[in-house]
Amino acid sequence: MKTIPIQPAPPGDDEEIVVSLYAAQEKIQSRSVTGVFARWRWFFVWATQLVFYGLAWLPWNGRQAVLFDLEARRFYLFDLILYPQDFIYLTGLLVISALALFLFTAVAGRLWCGFTCPQTVYTEIFMWIERRVEGDRSARLRLDAAPMSAAKFGKRALKHGLWGALSLWTGFTFVGYFTPIRELAGLVASLSLGPWQTFWILFYGLATYGNAGFLREQVCKYMCPYARFQSAMFDRDTMIVTYDEGRGEPRGARSRKADPKALGLGSCVDCTLCVQVCPTGIDIRKGLQYECISCAACVDVCDEVMDKVGYPRGLIRFATQNGVAKGWNRAQMLRRALRPRVLVYSGVLLAVSLAVLGSLWLRTPLKVDVIRDRGALAREVEQGRVENVYRLQIMNATEVAQTYELRVEGLPGIALASGDRVEVAPAEVRAVAARVQVPPGVAASGSHPIQFEVRAAQDERVRVREKSTFLVPR
């Protein structure tokens, strides 16, 4: 049996040592970059923001083109007028979005994140403002390290003022999709905003200000769930931002005239510019990382460096893991895009999209709800006839006043004792009381199925049939 001696602690060494397991988040100051992908990124910035800020002001048939009127429970999408009963279309849209995300991720990785995600778009805009006010990366680093002064305070105040103005305008535009934006502008001008509008303008503005101005890459790294489950959709034939390790290593600095082969070096000059331009602060040379958003800023700056030193472009490029490992060209990698999982995603996405579009195309611009009057389920009236009272909710999903004809069937001699025509204003819902009677003795006591038919007088193709029940007392 081995004995382990226990040594007493030296006197005075009994102080508790605290080891911190938390490392403070370092602010990432990314370098500006130009190139093909930078131009594409700004194209999508302009495209998405023109749609977001401009669509709310687009007039359509005397109203706002896109308006989600929650108070009136009507949703306007150009010529479409949707009611809460059309919630199924929102479900279809969500399914299409999810399938599209799966498909695009399987083919080309996180291109959505790098080019069109709102977090990326607004971060790009905020960083552009920051560069204009404080300068590029080196100038901002010097400003961060400098003590507070009048010049530093002025630059910071101007930057945050511009950020705040843009954030408030963004919040205002967002609320403008739920309250008519021209009406909302009048309320803002007269300082008569309601509590609901005030809260959501400030909330959405604060979210934009905080996410794009301060959190930035932390949203992508820690808050967005997509970064965590993307690995389940990637495979070795997914097109991702890739560093060609076989060509680039071993890396090292050298003069432009030096022969890298004679020095035993690869094409990477270890300038670290790929790290400096990365908005999430990663080193792409370490391989695929979940923090990479495929913005391709490192591709642009590396191509620029390769041009300067006289090496071929593509040390960092969009490629597949199989393509890099096997030395495939672009055409060979693109052919592998049509693999089984991609075809399955494409087929399902196409089927669901066609189904939703077909349903919208064939949709009847009329909704009818039949509700029984529970206060008078059944009663006998003149000549021994049995009467049931119903309430018909007729929803005109067009922007033209409509005249609807009412019919009922299901029992011998059944008829409407109330009016059989009703006028409904454009995009309005009208409740109509319908008294239905049957002759005595035509039906046994109990419940009997009947049907209401509501038909547009101007277009017989526009008709809706709704089932209900007729009660005959004992």
User: What DSSP line would sit under 112-123, residue for residue?
Assistant: HHHHT-HHHHHH
Residue 50 dihedral angles phi and psi, to the nearest 5°: -65, -40
What DSSP designation does 97 have?
H
Q: Is the dihedral of CA 175, 178, 181, 183 positive or negative?
A: negative
> In this structure, what token pair is assigned to residue 185?
């502008």
Return the pLDDT at 2: 56
What DSSP designation does 237 have?
T
Q: Which residues of the chain have pLDDT under 50?
A: none
- pLDDT by residue (tens digit) across 198-243? 999 999 999 999 999 999 989 988 888 887 777 678 888 999 999 9
Q: What is the helix (H) or strand (E) element at residue 469, kind and residue range?
A: strand 463-472
143-174 as b/e: b if 16+ CB within 10 A: beeeeeeeeeeebeeebeeebeebbbebbbbb
Return the pLDDT at 9: 56
In the chain, where are the structural domains located?
A: 36-229, 235-328, 366-472
**Shortest CA distance to 285 belongs to which of 255, 247, 323?**
247
CA–CA separation, 317 and 37 (whole Å): 11
User: For the chain, what's the residue count?
Assistant: 474
Q: Which residues pair with 448 in a beta bridge?
A: 470
Q: Is the dihedral of CA 318, 322, 324, 327 positive or negative?
A: negative
- Annotation: CATH topology of 366-472: Immunoglobulin-like (2.60.40)
In sequence order, the 6+-apart residues with CB closer than 8 A to the CB of 398 are: 81, 365, 426, 427
CA–CA separation, 413 and 436 (whole Å): 10
